[in-house]
Chain A
Amino acid sequence: MPRAIRRGPRYVKGKRSLLAPSPPGPLLAIRPETLLHPRPEGLYCPPGDFHIDPLRPVARALITHAHSDHARPGHGHVLATRETLDIMRIRLGEGFCASEQAIPFGESLTHGGVRISFHPAGHVLGSAQIALEWQGCRIVVSGDYKRRPDPTAEPFALQTCDVFVTEATFGLPVFRHPDPRDEAGRLLASLARFPERTHLIGAYSLGKAQRMIRLLRDCGHDAPILLHGALEKVTQYYEARGIMLGPLEPVAGSKGHDRAGQIVLCPPSALADRWSRRFADPVTAVASGWMRIRARARQRGAEIPMVISDHADWPELQQTILDTGAGEIWVTHGQEDALVHWCQQRGLAARPLRLVGYGEEEAA
């Protein structure tokens, strides 16, 4: 990771440092705000007359991924990847929008003179970054993203651009996600140590839960994993898309005495719910990037906090911003102050968009 975060802009004689500000790019013919700007209902593109991940129902919406804070019901026409549309239907029901249109990764279409393309974001299955090009200006909206390997999501595909619109969920230098295999290893060690206890993992129902299952399989756990009812449909969809998750069983159908020594996955909210009382003496684990902060882990009642995140950590945010070559950075949601400060220290134009409403599904 870049170390020299304490220093201001600096130039290394003879070669361009990774951390030095980019040389000014070609002057843009337009102000990027004419292509995309925030409105109370979300990011809006005037020439195309559409929104990206709008927070309220709109006529035309481009959706980066199917988490409920980004993918809300009630829009007129929705453009998204096949996976995102399918998962929206599973979670929101038929009729979640008036009409839908699927777009494959990497292909582009033009609407109102704006060239639109979707590129893998690596966040969850089907998650995309959305690139907009218009009059020589290219803006990429990252949605939520991560760059680490995850067999349950299409790998992040870097896009160069003039303006990079980034998330900052973990936009503080204290967030450096460890190797997820080590985190899963601690859970499996506990399972070996307390074989008579049920191991209950709280994980977000879309993305994290399926990644967690795959991770446990990759760490050698072959036994059936039990699923809370809220996870079943999305998990079945992942399997239908060819992601091998091994033997899975619904909690509802399993016998009480079988659950000792088994792994059960549920949404984080179910950990504190009466639902969790059916298990004998459970060990509570939580898989989330927030588990990095011990006070938050304790607040959640986690006995095994697993720092496993589907968002970019601080070094990934920095690296991605530099890799896009963008001269201007807009920060949508999260810990935007620190990331904006860091960009400005590097001579990048950066500003927070202060969009209210993102991050809610995963904070729940």
Chain B
Amino acid sequence: MNRFAALIEALAFEPRRLAKLTLMEEYFRSVPDPDRGYCLAALCGVLNLPTAKPALLRQLISERTDPVLFALSYDYVGDLSETIALLWPAPSGDPMRDIPIGTIVETLRRASRREVPGLVAGWLDTLEERGRWALLKLMTGGLRIGVSASLAKHALARFGQTEAAAIEEIWHGLEPPYASLFAWLEGRGGRPDPGQALTFRSPMLAHPVEDEDFDRLDPREFSAEWKWDGIRVQAAGRLRGNAAEIRLFSRSGDDITAAFPDLAGALHFDGVIDGELVVLEGETVAPFSAVQQRLNRKSVSARLMAEFPAHLIAYDCLFAGEEDLRALPLDARQGRLEMLVADHGGRLRPSPALAFESWADLAAQRAQSAGHPAIEGVMLKRLASPYLAGRPKGHWYKWKRDPGLVDCVLMYAQRGHGKRSSYYSDFTFGVWDGDRLVPVGKAYFGFSDAELIELDRFVRQNTTNRFGPVREVVHDARTGLVLEIAFEGLQASTRHKSGIAMRFPRIHRIRWDKPPGEADRLTTLQSALARASVPSGAPDA
């Protein structure tokens, strides 16, 4: 547990991506099976343990500490796992021993519910503080250390000197502790065969198109379709007689089938399809906020499924049956996609191609879509493009609609992390509501390095208050700094005081010239939000 604990603690305090990769790679290299495999599962969030509920942990600690001291400590520390790890009375006499993560996981898996409290207490008695903390984090689920499954697999790929895509393709056929995977990565065994398992294939991603690109791109070589504001999914299916086995993967390879049983249950095909998961309201694609209602849920209620029915807009086909189509050109794959889903029910819709003569023609259609809250813009795909993992150049482009722009006033600034740790680089800004400012968002990019230095200087010279790492800067009608913020969309939000949340806000321009009193008002955003929520004359799916 100590090695695992040291790793997750170092990862939790390490802001740099590259350093996180190094830490994980080193761990995989120096820790034996099965410990490293269970660690990998924990990092990827797929380690299922008979969960020790917070109630059990509270009971264990209440048997061992004075309730007043526990309450004062919990109040001070703020995190239950950490409080218990710190408070746990270490038995005097017995030297602390390490228990490998593998032993703990395997013992917990075999244990009956009745045995769990005694086992957990025994381990907590034996482990040192860091180990206790890691054990409690492991059991309460969700490490929250800033490592995604894809980052962990990336580190694994570096360790095995292979591509992350090669790991993704077999990942969903493997189980912790992944002994065969490590054997292959260390050159001690062949590549594990995913067998009959439905696995994830690394998706093909698009580049943003720049204005100057259009001069060298021939519209006749491209197909165009709407860029829907849903979530990118890969649906893998296999038919067994009349029954279909379906798995849905997110763009990063997480298995999200359990969150969308309505969609998974309605799909019926043999192959791998790339598409966008959206919610339909009648025949209209609903805004992203509808999809958001369905995200991050372990189980989903019938009411939620009826209110926000999930659909798949399919735009590509990677496999038809066992046949790998990825080397074929896009138009051939689209033909195969049509055949594959020809007699499919209403939950799966092919992505309609947009007819256009010229880029100007397409630009006009893109501009007309402005009223549709679920359309982000247009996708351009080269008809001859093979399906390539990653973000290859010259094949696919995303041509997003121009962002919304709003003039906001800088209210608070927070220091950044890593290289930016001495700079105030995270900015909270607001708009006027009557004669006071309400925060509407936070942005930490969009500016150049030179602008960051100027912004940092402004924050340091205009601080009116400090709260830990946060500084409040002067913001009244006459003095302060106006930031022109670009954003991709607006959503109603109960979590923000202003009632509005911005998608993807970034600093578009610093308006050194503009007095704060002339910044935008909340009513401007409210009416923009109201317009976006009422689809009118919008294209259907």
Contact = CB atoms under 8 A, between A and B. Distances in A.
A183 to B, nearest CB: 11
Contacts of B90: 1
Contact of A342 (B69, B82, B421): B69
Contacts of B14: 303
Contacts of B417: 301
Interface residues of A, number: 40
A342 B422 CA distance: 41
Contacts of B92: 1, 3
Interface stretch (A70-78, A146-154, A268-276): A268-276
Contact of A194 (B19, B64, B468): B19
A148 B91 CA distance: 20
A301 B415 contact: yes
A297 interface: yes
Contact of A174 (B6, B15, B83, B469): B83
Contacts, number: 94
B86 A176 contact: yes
Size category of the binding interface on chain B: 35 or more
Given A174-B73, A295-B77, A338-B73, A272 B422 contact: yes
Nearest to A281: B419
Given A3-B89, A276-B422, A301-B469, A338 B77 contact: no
B13 interface: yes
B87 interface: yes
B456 to A, nearest CB: 8
Interface of B: 6, 9, 12-15, 19, 22, 26, 63-66, 68-69, 72-73, 76-79, 82-83, 86-87, 89-92, 129, 415, 417, 419, 421-422, 468-469
Contact of A341 (B6, B13, B68, B78): B68
A168 B471 CA distance: 30
Given A174-B83, A302-B13, A5 B415 contact: no
B469 to A, nearest CB: 6
A294 interface: yes
Contact of A172 (B26, B73, B89): B73
B83 A272 contact: no
Given A194-B19, A284-B421, A303-B15, 13 more contacts: A6-B65, A172-B69, A174-B83, A193-B26, A272-B415, A281-B419, A292-B86, A295-B77, A295-B78, A295-B79, A297-B13, A298-B12, A303-B14
A302 B14 CA distance: 9
Q: Which of B26, B421, B422 has the most CB of A within 10 A?
A: B422
A176 B26 contact: no
A357 B83 CA distance: 28
Contact of B22 (A176, A178, A193): A193
Contacts of A275: 422
Q: Which of A6, A274, A298, A335 has the most CB of B within 10 A?
A: A6
A178 B129 CA distance: 9
Interface in A261-304: 271-277, 281, 284, 292-295, 297-299, 301-304
Contacts of B19: 194
A190 B273 CA distance: 45
